């Protein structure tokens, strides 16, 4: 169960009390991510997330922040995605005010010291290096860049080294002023807490001290792919990282839930079609999976695999053959039922603690503006029919809409073009 309230400054508060725990999670979601950026500041959303932990007027250094949280055994972190940024503290319920105090202090009173900014540039550049050196970590971005191209959804969340080097205090403060507004924030509290007390704390730390204005919106994109796209990144490796991607559906599309179930059936678990055919029967890959990703205005359907470089061609052909089977023949009633039960079971496990529940409600409100309980969401999943799955496969898996991204010891795209048949 949850309660929802909007403060005078536009900040949205979501409360989900739990009696079965002694912990509480306070999560602040901000409606800004890398897709809100211009190319000359690409990576600034992620940079700001890092800088939030570098000191405030009240807590001058990063050590002052971390020591205060460590002293009470709190769990804390932050994350940046394409369309949102999040900051959370999970803490003993009797220390809930500390979570509010610290989060509001970081969000509204961080110093963004130039010395710390320059130090953090090196940290983030090393993070970029880490991802680039690891094909398993970088293939996600590579296929998204192949699908979405040269726009904010196709850019790195971390940005490029060149842009990171150019970020300064002036750019950071301008960006924060545009997006870090209470009207562009959601505070979600889940766990063992007193509702009245938390409402009072929210007003104290997020209303009385902060004025608000409307944040800038992102630029919607419309992609009409009419031919296949292939990108290859040469890297001398023993294993090839492969991703096949297609344009998919947004959060609001009528086939959103069918797309989710299709991903489960194809490559969502260890009994899925791709895992069984590619790994178990033929030993072509250590891992293979399918995922559906959604945004407010678009989405993608992606199959990834780490493959034996000597058998890359038959592996690609086999993956596409499995997609073609579902497109032409659909799935069985047993497969669909199992996929639905899989989603149900995973959801039950995911919502076992306060952190997951805060994330569940907060992201729904931020990204879709609609609040569904787990039961309401499962009802939509269970309503998907066999015909819906095949309809989605036919709509998404089209010959001229295949996107292929490869990281491995290859340079020539032409050798792969003849394989891309579906």
Which residues face 191 on adjacent strands?
Answer: 17, 24
User: Would you state the pLDDT for residue 50?
Assistant: 98
User: Structure tokens of 247?
Assistant: 């344009």
Do β-strands 403-408 and 229-234 pair in parallel, antiparallel, or remain unpaired? Answer: parallel
Q: How far is CA 20 from the centre of its chain?
A: 28
For the chain, give the number of residues: 422
Tell me, yes or no, if 132 is annotated catalytic.
no
User: Would you state the pLDDT for residue 288?
Assistant: 96
**Among candidate residues 214, 343, 363, 384, the one with its CA nearest the CA of residue 295:** 363
How many secondary structure helices (H) and strands (E) does the chain include?
A: 16, 11
Q: In sequence order, what are the residues at sequence separation of 6 or more whose Cβ sits closer than 8 angstroms to the Cβ of residue 357?
A: 16, 18, 25, 190, 191, 351
pTM: 0.95
On whether the CB atoms of residues 93 and 191 are closer than 8 A, the answer is yes
Catalytic residue among 37, 49, 277, 335: 49
On whether the CB atoms of residues 226 and 195 are closer than 8 A, the answer is no
What's the distance, Cα to Cα, between the start and end of the chain in Å? 45
Element spanning 308, H or E: strand 299-308
User: Would you state the pLDDT for residue 215?
Assistant: 79
Residue with tokens 């996600």: 140
On whether the CB atoms of residues 202 and 19 are closer than 8 A, the answer is no
Which residues face 77 on adjacent strands?
Answer: 88
Do β-strands 85-92 and 75-80 pair in parallel, antiparallel, or remain unpaired? Answer: antiparallel
For the chain, which domains are there? 3-206 (3.30.830.10), 229-417 (3.30.830.10)
Give the three-state DSSP class for 224. coil
- For the chain (422 residues), the mean pLDDT of every run of 10, in chain order, is 92 94 97 96 98 97 97 98 98 98 97 96 97 95 96 96 97 96 96 97 87 78 90 94 97 97 97 96 93 96 94 94 97 98 96 94 95 95 98 96 96 90 88
Which residues face 247 on adjacent strands?
Answer: 300
The CA angle 213-190-66, to the nearest 5 degrees, is: 75
Q: Which residues of 206-223 are buried (b: 16+ CB within 10 A; e: fewer)?
A: bbeebebeebeebeeeee
On whether the CB atoms of residues 302 and 143 are closer than 8 A, the answer is yes
User: Would you state the pLDDT for residue 209?
Assistant: 64
What is the phi/psi pair of residue 112, to 5°? Answer: 55, 50
């Amino acid at each position: 169960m949850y309660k929802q309230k909007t403060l005078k400054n536009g900040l949205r508060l979501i409360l989900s009390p739990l009696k079965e725990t002694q912990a509480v999670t306070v999560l602040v979601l901000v409606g800004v991510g890398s897709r809100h950026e211009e190319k000359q500041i690409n990576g600034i959303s992620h940079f700001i997330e890092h800088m939030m932990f570098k000191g405030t007027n009240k807590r001058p250094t990063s050590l002052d922040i971390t020591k205060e949280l460590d002293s009470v055994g709190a769990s804390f972190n932050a994350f940046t995605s394409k369309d949102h940024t999040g900051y959370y503290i999970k803490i003993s319920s009797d220390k809930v005010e500390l979570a509010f105090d610290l989060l509001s202090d970081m969000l509204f009173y961080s110093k963004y010291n130039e010395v710390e900014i320059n130090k953090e540039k090196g940290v983030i550049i090393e993070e970029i290096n880490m991802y680039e050196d690891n094909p398993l970590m970088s293939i996600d971005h590579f296929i998204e860049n192949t699908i979405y191209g040269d726009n904010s959804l196709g850019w790195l969340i971390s940005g490029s080294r060149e842009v990171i080097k150019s970020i300064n205090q002036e750019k950071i403060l301008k960006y924060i002023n545009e997006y870090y507004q209470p009207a562009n924030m959601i505070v979600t509290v889940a766990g063992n807490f007193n509702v009245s007390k938390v409402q009072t704390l929210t007003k104290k730390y997020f209303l009385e001290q902060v004025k608000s204005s409307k944040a800038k919106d992102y630029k919607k994109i419309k992609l009409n792919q009419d031919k296949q796209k292939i990108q290859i990144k040469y890297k001398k490796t023993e294993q090839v990282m492969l991703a096949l991607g297609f344009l998919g559906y947004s959060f609001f599309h009528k086939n959103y839930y069918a797309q989710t179930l299709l991903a489960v059936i194809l490559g969502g678990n260890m009994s899925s079609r791709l895992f069984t055919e590619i790994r178990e029967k033929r030993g072509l890959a250590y891992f293979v999976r399918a995922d559906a990703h959604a945004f407010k205005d678009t989405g993608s359907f992606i199959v990834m695999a780490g493959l034996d470089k000597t058998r890359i061609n038959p592996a690609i052909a086999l993956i596409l053959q499995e997609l073609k089977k579902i497109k032409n023949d659909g799935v069985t009633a047993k497969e669909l039922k199992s996929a639905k039960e899989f989603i149900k079971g995973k959801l039950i496990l995911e919502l076992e603690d306060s952190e997951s529940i805060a994330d569940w409600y907060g992201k729904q409100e931020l990204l879709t503006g609609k609040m569904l309980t787990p039961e309401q969401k499962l009802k939509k999943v269970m309503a998907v029919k066999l015909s819906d799955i095949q309809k989605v496969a036919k709509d998404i898996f089209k010959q001229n809409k295949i996107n292929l991204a490869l990281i491995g010891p290859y340079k020539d795209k032409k050798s792969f073009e003849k394989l891309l048949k579906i």
